[in-house]
Amino acid sequence: MNKEPVLVARPALLRQTNAQLLLRLLRESGPCSKADLVRASGLSAPTVTNVVGHLASVGLIEPVGEGDSTGGRPPDIIRFRAERGCVAGVEIGSDALLFLLTNLDGHELARANVSIARNTSKPHAICSQIAKELRNLTRKQKYAEEQLLGVVMGVPSIVNVDEGTVLALSALKSWNKVPLGSMLTRELKCQVTVDNDTNLAALGEYNHGAAQGESNFVFITIGEGVGAGIFLDGKIYRGSQWSAGEIGYLRVPHIAREHPTIREYGKLEKILGAPGILRSWRAASRHSRSKPKATRPADVFDLAIEGNASAKKILLNRATILSDIILDLALILNPSLILLGGEVGGNPRLLQEVKALLKGSEFAIARVLPGALGPSAVLWGAAHLAMESALLSLLQPPD
Amino acid sequence: MPKNSGSRQSNSHMPSYVVAVDIGGTNLRVALANRHGKMLAKWSGSVGSDSSPKAVVQVIRGAVGYLLTEVGASLHSLSGVAAGAPGVTDRKAGVVFATSYLRGWKKVPLAALLQSALHIPAAVENDVKLAAIGESWLGAARGVQNFVFLAIGTGIAAGVVVNGQLLNGPQCIAGEVGYLIVPGTPESPVGRASPGSLETVIGGEGIRQHWRQVCKNGRGDLTATEIFALAKNGDRLAKNVLERSARILAYAIHNMSTVLNSSLFVLGGGVGTNNALLMATRRILQPYSQPSRPRLIRSALGADAQLIGAIRLALDTAESRAISKGL
């Protein structure tokens, strides 16, 4: 088993650690004096002076004049320059590109939603579109191009995060082992990270949403597709080949029962996802005299609550499958929290039904809650990661 | 020279030993190992008619005395003890929550009991997790960051290792996959099969029961191992039982692998180490290559996996106590 590594601090590494600490304190407290930082950090005054100097030299902090005197020289107040640069989270959806631009303090500057035209679904075309939109957004916010310090992209695919390679993207054709990270880096000349979208959504909920303070949780998303982001020990868990949490490939007992034609694994999405629910509804209402309208899964679930028998059957079936999945996760991972998101996963009727089914379990299954960030979870997770990476690279000690 | 009776060594020229304990449902094994983890002496016995925690600890105490005599060492030379228990265990708290194998065991503060009895730092852990530690240290999973040790015997449970660390979970139930719900017979038509838990379906007893059901002419009560041996020899009914077991095992491994993306599954336990079962399961998993397929191998340490894991835990426990005391 691994033992904790003993950290040997080189001076530059130590300075970076101290710089991260002071930055965090400054961001949390707002503008304050060096003396305040000495008190809050526990570092010595000369060390703080040294680090503050370094932070100023990379443009991350600046003096804002003098504060109130408490009986000596009035203290110099310093502030964090969140406007030093900007970062972006990007989400590649099934037919649209979503963007979130924030400053270095994680505050939203701009958003955008751009459709993917049918004939521009090839990797290079998507890349160019992303780069173009980012330059647009950056410029509109009055930032210079080189002030876009980092981009993190969420894609509905298994991603080799180290290499920035998208391994398989079912929604968009001809995406197989695409080096999306390096392609975009070449266009934008800044740091680009690519990750699976559900992993980023979990990160978003961890930093800003319903999973704050939870070191072991799973975020399940059910929309067009099905996926899970797994957080263990306070970090995204990816597995040995980047595909941990690809729950679309799970086989669950109640599928065989109700959907005998679904024999192949990997087809859980076909039943649980939005298109599958509507397909079931259309099949069920084909022979009924009254055909209540349902264009989205939420409509079907509403009809179920209103008493429609076919809709009830569909809701119960999907809730049963989802609780099977949650039980699997509980016994394998024992997370303390399960978050549900996506157009289908985040539906309150489904959540209610799932909770009722899990109540009868002999285990204390995790709490099951809806995600707090809704459809923005991926973007917020991506933007947060971009911000942290950008700050880290600004503080990078010279090799 | 006054004897420093309170000191527990760490002195490099004094021999030091650790104690490893493997508590089963009826069997009890205790081993003595040196500071390098080399097993020097082993004792095997049974839990006895009184399976209460205090009684079991007494038996362990006796076994330790016997082993110390064998190697010619004193109680003072012991630096730590670790015990594996057949149930949900909280290592941090040193408590065995529950085990269906030992009567009267509920929220047992086993670490404290061992510490009192032997006067050395003590740690306890779930036995399957200890086996995972053993395989990771000296066995089939050396150097593997993400793997699962799946024990299939009377019961079924897993030790899950992610990023080189054992996965616990806040309720310490990570890996309790014996309770996974599986279809009774996955390929049967809708409605006929009712789901059961993995343990009741392919645990040792579940396989025997299924054999008794399908075998109408009273061919006797066979163990899973015997049934699989018959299958290897061509017996049609036995082959069906083997195939069914392999199919369900493959199902469970596929699901675990889908969630964890582990690169390796190490199978242990009386049923898990059966070669015929392993080969059939591998064959069934063959087409399940998405998103990735883990390697499936047998435990390298066999019945000693838990004990070896306990040695490792005992060494770590002794070391961290030494470090915290500034020795």
Task: Please calculate the CA angle B50-B54-B58 and round it to the nearest 5 degrees.
Answer: 85
Calpha distance B302→B29 (Å, rounded) = 14
Burial of A171 (0-12, 13-18, 19+ CB in 10 A): middle
Q: What topology does CATH give the domain A11-69?
A: Arc Repressor Mutant, subunit A (1.10.10)
**CB nearest B174 (choices: A247, A256, A332):** A332
State the average pLDDT over residues A102-110: 96
- Least confident segment among A74-78, A191-195, A373-377, B238-242: A74-78
DSSP 3-state of A9: coil
- Least confident segment among A40-49, A187-196, A260-269, B97-106: A260-269
Q: Does domain B140-299 have CATH number 3.30.420.40?
A: yes
State the average pLDDT over residues B220-248: 93
Burial of A113 (0-12, 13-18, 19+ CB in 10 A): exposed
What DSSP character marks residue B289? -
Task: Give residue B5's pLDDT.
Answer: 46
Using a CB-CB distance cutoff of 8 angstroms, which residues of chain A are in contact with residue B289?
A: none
% residues pLDDT > 90 (chain B): 74
User: pLDDT by residue (tens digit) across B54-93?
Assistant: 999 999 999 999 999 999 999 999 999 999 999 999 999 9
Residue A85 pLDDT greater than 70, yes or no: yes
Task: Give residue A121's pLDDT.
Answer: 74
Task: Enter the tokens of residue B172.
Answer: 């310490």
Chain A closest-CA separation from residue B177 CA (Å): 6
Task: Enter the tokens of residue A377.
Answer: 């979870």
Confidence of residue A255 (pLDDT cuts 50, 70, 90): low
Q: Does domain A212-371 have CATH number 3.30.420.40?
A: yes
Q: Checking DSSP bridges between strand A217-222 and strand A158-160, what pairing results, if any?
A: unpaired
Task: Give residue A171's pLDDT.
Answer: 61
Chain A closest-CA separation from residue B188 CA (Å): 8
Position with higher pLDDT, B323 vs B19: B19
Find the helix or strand (DSSP H, E) in which B44 lies.
strand B39-46
Residue A362 pLDDT greater than 90, yes or no: no
Chain A closest-CA separation from residue B157 CA (Å): 10
What DSSP character marks residue A178? B
Same fold, A84-204+378-394 and A212-371: yes
Q: Does domain A84-204+378-394 have CATH number 3.90.230.10?
A: no
Q: Which CATH number fits domain B17-127+304-324: 1.20.120.80, 3.30.420.40, 3.40.190.10, 3.30.1330.10?
A: 3.30.420.40
Nearest alpha-carbon partner for A187 in A119, A129, A141: A129
**Contacting A residues, span 341-380, partner chain B, CB-CB under 8 Å:** 362-364
Task: Enter the tokens of residue A320.
Answer: 């049963």
Q: What one-letter code names the amino acid at B15?
A: P
Strand partners, A358: none
Q: How many CB atoms lie within 10 A of CB A9?
A: 11
**Residue-wise DSSP of B145-175:** SSEEEEEESSSEEEEEEETTEE---TTS-TT
State the average pLDDT over residues A242-255: 85
**CB nearest B165 (choices: A1, A245, A253):** A1
Q: A355-391: buried (b, 16+ CB within 10 Å) or exposed (e) per residue?
A: bebbeeeeeebbebbbbbbebbbbbbbbbbbbbbbbb
Confidence of residue B143 (pLDDT cuts 50, 70, 90): very high
**CB nearest B291 (choices: A246, A254, A331):** A246
A211 interfacial to chain B (CB closer than 8 Å): no
Q: Where are the domains of chain B?
A: 17-127+304-324, 140-299
Task: Enter the tokens of residue A227.
Answer: 């996926």
Q: Are B291 and A243 within 8 A, CB to CB?
A: yes
Q: Are A1 and B170 within 8 A, CB to CB?
A: no
Please report which residue ranges of chain B form alpha helices under DSSP H: 53-71, 110-118, 127-138, 198-202, 204-214, 224-232, 236-260, 269-272, 275-285, 305-324
Using a CB-CB distance cutoff of 8 angstroms, which residues of chain A are in contact with residue B131?
A: none
Q: Are A328 and B255 within 8 A, CB to CB?
A: yes
Residue A264 pLDDT greater than 70, yes or no: no
Tell me which residue has tokens 């890349």. A127
Residue B99 pLDDT greater than 70, yes or no: yes
Calpha distance B305→B307 (Å, rounded) = 6
- Least confident segment among A217-226, A306-315, B86-95, B96-105: B96-105
- Least confident segment among A37-41, A180-184, A228-232, A363-367: A363-367
B100 interfacial to chain A (CB closer than 8 Å): no
Residue A256 pLDDT greater than 70, yes or no: no
- Least confident segment among A112-121, B45-54, B225-234: A112-121
Task: Give residue A3's pLDDT.
Answer: 59
State the average pLDDT over residues A283-297: 84
Residue A262 pLDDT greater than 50, yes or no: no
Calpha distance A350→A356 (Å, rounded) = 10
Highest mean pLDDT, choosing among A56-65, A81-90, A111-120, A163-172: A81-90
The set of residues, in sequence order, having a beta carbon less than 8 Å from that of A215 and lying 6+ positions away, is: A231, A232, A233, A234
- Average pLDDT of the residues of chain B: 89
Task: Give residue A369's pLDDT.
Answer: 97
Chain A closest-CA separation from residue B218 CA (Å): 32
Q: What one-letter code names the amino acid at B320?
A: S
What DSSP character marks residue A74? P
Q: What one-letter code names the amino acid at B189?
A: P
Q: B11-49: buried (b, 16+ CB within 10 Å) or exposed (e) per residue?
A: eeeeebbbbbbbbbbeebbbbbbbbeeeeebbbeeebee
Calpha distance B136→A1 (Å, rounded) = 7
User: pLDDT by residue (tens digit) across B293-322?
Assistant: 899 999 999 999 999 999 999 999 999 888
Position with higher pLDDT, A220 vs B215: A220
State the complex-level ipTM: 0.90
Residue A361 pLDDT greater than 70, yes or no: yes
**Residue-wise DSSP of A279-308:** HHHHHHHTT-SS----SSHHHHHHHHHHT-
Q: Checking DSSP bridges between strand A96-103 and strand A86-92, what pairing results, if any?
A: antiparallel
Task: Give residue B150's pLDDT.
Answer: 98
B296 interfacial to chain A (CB closer than 8 Å): no
A239 interfacial to chain B (CB closer than 8 Å): yes
- Least confident segment among A261-270, A331-340, B274-283: A261-270
A241 interfacial to chain B (CB closer than 8 Å): yes
Task: Enter the tokens of residue B189.
Answer: 């038509």
Burial of B69 (0-12, 13-18, 19+ CB in 10 A): exposed
State the average pLDDT over residues A107-131: 88
Task: Give residue B1's pLDDT.
Answer: 44
**Contacting B residues, span 105-134, partner chain A, CB-CB under 8 Å:** 133
B207 interfacial to chain A (CB closer than 8 Å): no
Q: Search chain A and give the residue with CA nearest B166.
A: A1
Task: Give residue B187's pLDDT.
Answer: 39
Calpha distance B26→A376 (Å, rounded) = 55
B259 interfacial to chain A (CB closer than 8 Å): yes
Q: What one-letter code names the amino acid at B255?
A: N
Using a CB-CB distance cutoff of 8 angstroms, which residues of chain A are in contact with residue B288?
A: 265
Using a CB-CB distance cutoff of 8 angstroms, which residues of chain B are in contact with residue A334?
A: 167-176
Position with higher pLDDT, B193 vs B155: B155
Q: B237-247: buried (b, 16+ CB within 10 Å) or exposed (e) per residue?
A: bbbebbebbbb
Confidence of residue B255 (pLDDT cuts 50, 70, 90): very high
Task: Give residue B98's pLDDT.
Answer: 86
Residue A2 pLDDT greater than 80, yes or no: no
Tell me which residue has tokens 């600004």. A394
Task: Enter the tokens of residue A116.
Answer: 């993917």
A174 interfacial to chain B (CB closer than 8 Å): no
Calpha distance B67→B73 (Å, rounded) = 9
Confidence of residue A123 (pLDDT cuts 50, 70, 90): confident
- Least confident segment among A328-332, B3-7, B37-41: B3-7
Strands (E) located in chain A: 32-33, 61-66, 76-80, 86-92, 96-103, 108-115, 148-155, 158-160, 165-168, 191-196, 217-222, 226-232, 235-236, 337-341, 367-370
Q: How many CB atoms lie within 10 A of CB A177?
A: 10
Q: Are B259 and A243 within 8 A, CB to CB?
A: no
Using a CB-CB distance cutoff of 8 angstroms, which residues of chain A are in contact with residue B196?
A: none
From residue A376, alpha-carbon distances to A99, A122, A154, B209, B297 in Å are: 10, 25, 11, 52, 43
A46 interfacial to chain B (CB closer than 8 Å): no
Q: Are A240 and B263 within 8 A, CB to CB?
A: yes
Position with higher pLDDT, B12 vs A88: A88
Task: Give residue A15's pLDDT.
Answer: 82
- C-alpha neighbours within 13 Å on the C-beta side of residue A180: 36
Q: Search chain B and give the residue with CA nearest A266.
A: B290
Dihedrals phi, psi of B96, to nearest 5 degrees: -95, 115
State the average pLDDT over residues B194-220: 82
State the average pLDDT over residues A202-225: 96
- Average pLDDT of the residues of chain A: 89
DSSP 3-state of A69: coil
Task: Enter the tokens of residue A350.
Answer: 């489904």
Say if CB A247 and CB A226 are below 8 A apart. Answer: yes
Task: Give residue B225's pLDDT.
Answer: 94
How many residue contacts between A and B have a Cβ separation below 8 Å?
129
Q: Where are the domains of chain A?
A: 11-69, 84-204+378-394, 212-371
From residue B238, alpha-carbon distances to A116, B132, B204, B251, B275 in Å are: 57, 31, 14, 20, 15
Q: pTM score, two decimals?
A: 0.90
Residue A221 pLDDT greater than 50, yes or no: yes
Position with higher pLDDT, A261 vs B30: B30
From residue B301, alpha-carbon distances to A275, B139, B160 in Å are: 49, 6, 17
Q: Search chain A and give the residue with CA nearest B252.
A: A251
Using a CB-CB distance cutoff of 8 angstroms, which residues of chain A are in contact with residue B135?
A: none
**CB nearest A2 (choices: B164, B195, B251):** B164
% residues pLDDT > 70 (chain A): 91
Q: Are B165 and A233 within 8 A, CB to CB?
A: yes
Same fold, B17-127+304-324 and B140-299: yes
- C-alpha neighbours within 13 Å on the C-beta side of residue A225: 21
Task: Give residue B4's pLDDT.
Answer: 46
Q: Checking DSSP bridges between strand A32-33 and strand A76-80, what pairing results, if any?
A: antiparallel
Nearest alpha-carbon partner for A188 in A131, A142, A147: A131
Say if CB B147 and CB B93 are below 8 A apart. Answer: no
Chain A closest-CA separation from residue B219 CA (Å): 32
Chain A closest-CA separation from residue B136 CA (Å): 7
Residue A267 pLDDT greater than 80, yes or no: no
Strand partners, B268: B151
